[in-house]
Amino acid sequence: MILHIKNMVCDRCIMVVRQQLENMGLNVGVVNLGSADVQPGPDNEQLRLISSQFKLLGFELLDNEKDQMVERIKTLIIEKIHYTDLSDTHLNFSQYLSEGLNKDYAYLSRMFSDAEDTTIEKFIIQQKIEKVKELLEYGELNLNEITWKMGYSSSSHLSAQFKAISGITPSQFKALKQGERKPIDKI
């Protein structure tokens, strides 16, 4: 049985979910961002216990198809932005999502907007800006290198999006020394 899990955004989330399920005595197969394979499937009482334990950790079991699809959209976006180099891809996110989920992009877009009260495009921009904040805090790359790494066409385009989302420029953010970053699962 595949459990669909909301708010899994990193390798630590995968580790925590695996540990929780194993601590409950379940046989856990593959765990990915947003899902865990448990064989045999847990009964209703175990599902209730899993759900309550996950809520304590900031996760949530998803039981309807629409919520599962929205979470899969988020997971694909997060994986691509936070865990791959966008510099050489010239990625078309609508095509990427359509192919990754085997659904028409217009359908995915409507579903996402209805459920999240924002568009996929805005979600992508917010994720990219949070990744830019992370890279700025590390201080290993300058703005032009970050622009290239994140797949932006120019540093002015990146700066304009950054200011629109955060209210300050990238250089102002960097000068703060301790910028205000949002956890990925809160975007």
Number of other CB atoms surrounding residue 94 within 10 Å:
16
Q: Looking at residue 138, what is its pLDDT?
A: 87
Domains 2-63 and 64-187 share a fold: no
Q: Where are the domains of the chain?
A: 2-63, 64-187
Residue 37 — φ and ψ, nearest 5°? -95, 120
pTM of the model: 0.79
Residue 136: both structure tokens together: 């700025």
Name which CATH class applies to 2-63. alpha beta
Average pLDDT over residues 110-121: 95
Residue 10's Cα: distance from chain center in Å?
Answer: 8
Fold of 64-187: Arc Repressor Mutant, subunit A (1.10.10)
* Segment (H or E) for 92: none
135-186 confidence digits (pLDDT tens): 999 889 999 999 999 989 899 999 999 999 999 999 999 888 665 666 666 6
Q: Looking at residue 174, what is its pLDDT?
A: 86
